[in-house]
A and B are shown apart, each in its own frame.
Chain A
Amino acid sequence: MTTAPTPVPAPAAADPSGGPGAPGAATASPAPRPARRRPRGGAWLATVPLLAFFLVGFGLPAVAIVTGAFTVSGDAETGAGSFTTANLTDSVQGAYWTALLSSVKLSALTALIGTVLGVPIAQAVLTSRFRLLREAVLTASGVLANFGGLPLAFAFVATLGNAGEVTRMFHLTDHGWSLYSFSGLTVTYLYFLVPLMVLTITPALEGLRVQWREAAQNNRATALQYWRHVALPILFPSLLGGFVLLFGSAFAAYATAAAMVGATVPLISRQIADALSGNVLVGQGNLALALSLDMIIVAVLVMAVYLPLQRRSARWLS
């Protein structure tokens, strides 16, 4: 390795992602250097464990989902299945289709509300004078967004469930309130989606330069005009990216809905879990895989919007 005659990389190609100081550092380095310092040949070896793990841990299940979704299980003796699209057509019919639609509806609605509510909260926290408040809100957001799930469901049952404290205090049941409904789930989901939005949008809000605001003010723009014509257009890709992330998070959520026993809202994730745990007919394993495939397709479609946009917003806000 020490004698490998590596060509010296052109300074321009050296560091496309570096910070403000990087280009200077790259051009300042002397052109002819001893060639022994770079592990040109061997560096990729360090990525092998990760890629191998991924191929086995992620690749095999993915293959299992796709093949399982398209086969009908044969007799138990041979285990041989035959190709069919019946699982998939079943998975987009009747109760399963209703569950898929209601999952998409719930995710889209909660993601939208979460996006709209998250931005002012993040902005208020960011511009606050209290450093401690900022720290507390951002860390609490991290906990709620990533850890939420089950504890959250129980907290909401205790608060707004049939015997919940707030429900009893304000006699909400008399006003037609039920936690185990579409609106109840919406309120619960927002409890982890709004923090997720705060986390996601904070770097973008921090990237808004003070000079832009000052320039707008010097041109006699009102605060409203500044947001309408300057800040929001710049933030737009980040906002849409945040929306997509929230959608995915709500769409994949299972624990929250599962723990709120007696949920009357059909959700695709619960249907898959039911089919897998054998709460329904035996031999529905392949149907569960077909439902999983449906879910992945929806998620892929939504993600396909997210990735290019994330790159675009990085152009402005870096």
Chain B
Amino acid sequence: MAQLISRLRVWRGAVLLLAGLYFLVPLAASVWFSIDDPSGISFDAYTGLLSAPGFTDSLVLTLELAAVTVVVLLLLLVPAMIAVRLGAPKLRPVLEVVCTLPLVVPPVALTAGLIGVLRWGPDYLMDTPFFQTFVFVQQPEFPLVLVVAYVLMALPLAYRALDSGLRAVDVRTLVEAARNCGASWPRAVLSVIVPNLRGALLNAAFLTLALVLGEFTTASILGYQPFAVWIYSVGNSQGQMSVAVSVLSLLITWVLLLLLAAAGRERRHKTAATS
């Protein structure tokens, strides 16, 4: 038995070592690449970031897009998913299909379709009020059309995150209990269900945030310049800086996710202790 365990440890160690090498070497090499200079070591690529043209604008635009996407997505998805559990179970397969279909359409294809719609719209709706809508969703300061695309792309991820969260909660019993105590419908959902879903909501929000931060395809084809597109354009002229931003963004996202996991764990311990 002891022999078996030690053999398992050796095997596990070897796998982890190899995997660790494969995943850490590119990161380490990138860091080295970004500070490696003919005259020695230089952190110019990092210090020059803030003053680089377009950096702040694109980052702000991306964060705004991400915030709006998260809010819209959760406002659309959470009520629908709770309602399906409470009183409209027949719609559940519909919801499942709706939230899975975007997986089948690659971002490039979705973008092609969006461009098709955006080109078709003005041709036929020139004289109607709808024309203003087309202009409105494409304004360069805040392209709402990107939000539409991002919500669709994030739908499968968010659905799965929320679904696993809802599975762990007996929505029906909780709501009935709250209603028996005299709570109104909105109150029962807001102050009983939503707090129980905190972890799942955070998870869904975070996945969406990561997706929007990293999204490149749709924005670049449609000609907007959020963060990822900015990194790309920088890569053409200043290789070191693009690598520096890439490494930074990967690490920052990772740390955020670790913090989130820690927060979720705390919450679990608390609920386990009280139940």
Contact = CB atoms under 8 A, between A and B. Distances in A.
A35 interface: no
Contact of A47 (B83, B103, B112, B172): B83
Contacts of A53: 76, 148, 151
B207 A39 contact: no
Given A57-B148, A155-B30, A303 B80 contact: no
A47 B88 contact: yes
A255 B151 contact: no
B113 A146 contact: no
Q: In which size bucket is the chain B interface?
A: 35 or more
Contacts of B113: 60-62, 64-65, 289, 292
Interface in B85-129: 86-88, 91, 94-95, 98, 100-117, 119-120, 123-124
A124 B12 CA distance: 5
Contacts of A44: 83, 87-88, 91
Interface residues of A, number: 94
Interface in A203-253: 223, 248, 251-252
Contacts of A38: 86-87
Contacts of B63: none
A22 B103 contact: no
A17 to B, nearest CB: 7
Given A47-B88, A147-B214, A288 B112 contact: yes
A31 B79 CA distance: 28
B43 interface: no
A49 B231 contact: no
Given A62-B113, A159-B33, A285-B115, A166 B76 contact: no
A255 B228 contact: yes
B12 A128 contact: yes
A19 interface: yes
Interface stretch (B49-57, B191-199, B241-249, B266-274): B241-249
The 5 closest A-B pairs by CB, nearest first: A61-B113, A43-B87, A64-B116, A252-B106, A151-B246
Interface of A: 14-15, 17-19, 21-22, 25, 37-40, 42-47, 49-51, 53-54, 57-58, 60-62, 64-65, 68, 79, 117, 120-121, 123-125, 127-128, 133, 135-136, 138-140, 142-144, 146-152, 154-160, 164-166, 191, 194, 223, 248, 251-252, 254-255, 258-259, 261, 269, 272-273, 276-277, 285, 288-289, 291-293, 295-296, 299-300, 303, 307
Given A152-B250, A258-B220, A299-B103, 11 more contacts: A15-B172, A21-B170, A44-B83, A47-B88, A65-B112, A133-B16, A136-B258, A159-B30, A160-B26, A164-B29, A289-B112
Interface of B: 4, 8, 11-12, 15-16, 19, 22-23, 25-27, 29-30, 32-34, 36, 75-77, 79-80, 82-84, 86-88, 91, 94-95, 98, 100-117, 119-120, 123-124, 148-149, 151-152, 157, 167-168, 170, 172-173, 176, 179-180, 185, 207, 210-211, 213-217, 220-221, 228, 231-232, 235-236, 239, 242-243, 245-247, 249-250, 253-254, 257-258, 260-262
